[in-house]
Structure 1
């Protein structure tokens, strides 16, 4: 956090990730999505907890459809109209 080095990697623990976000201890978050469905799976983040906006700073996709997105925390989210705008884009 804030100083170079000392990278912390969290693999699959939404509870720990949420705790780090809540305490402003995340400088950058990389999410890797593999296009495979394995049953019901587990949620990345718990159902409860404060919301956090994220700015997308990098996005890549490989030839197998694996996506890598790099985000930085961006404070509290602005919800007004977000879902409506997304639906317009999705529906065309």
Structure 2
């Protein structure tokens, strides 16, 4: 399986709290939601197509919980093409603390995460 990463980052290197104003306010971060509405149609199409091509998704625990609480549970978001892609594909979460994933078709990766991710990458698929 090919491992592709999608990262939203500002020109000055900020990756924190880009989705909603309440996202990840650790360490005094005050600018949550900085990416909302900032993209153009071409960018949104590219992001959507990237999600649609994926055979599976790999998350860290914080991102997984954020996505499970939105793309995985809000009907309007589940119906969006990105939500459809996320809900139809297997999800993997690298976590030592998540014990009961609430999003269907989720596998928690524990222990040697490098080995677990290597196994995923060895599988066929995109």
State TM-score, norm by structure 2. 0.23
**Going by fraction, where is helix more abundant, 1 or 2?**
2
Higher RCO structure, 1 or 2 (CA under 8 Å, sep 6+): 1
